Amino acid sequence: AQTVTQSQPEMSVQEAETVTLSCTYDTSESDYYLFWYKQPPSRQMILVIRQEAYKQQNATENRFSVNFQKAAKSFSLKISDSQLGDAAMYFCAYRTNYGGSQGNLIFGKGTKLSVKP
Partner 1 sequence: EAGVAQSPRYKIIEKRQSVAFWCNPISGHATLYWYQQILGQGPKLLIQFQNNGVVDDSQLPKDRFSAERLKGVDSTLKIQPAKLEDSAVYLCASSLIETISRHGYTFGSGTRLTVV
Whichever of 33 and 64 has its CB closer to partner 1, that residue is 33
Question: Residue numbers of the site for partner 1 (CB under 8 A)?
Answer: 4, 33, 35, 37, 42-47, 50, 52, 91, 93, 95, 97, 100-102, 104-105, 107-110
Whichever of 13 and 23 has its CB closer to partner 1, that residue is 23
Give Cβ neighbours of residue 60 (< 8 Å, ≥ 6 apart): 49, 66
Whichever of 13 and 49 has its CB closer to partner 1, that residue is 49
Say how far apart CA 37 and CA 32 lie, in whole Å.
Answer: 16
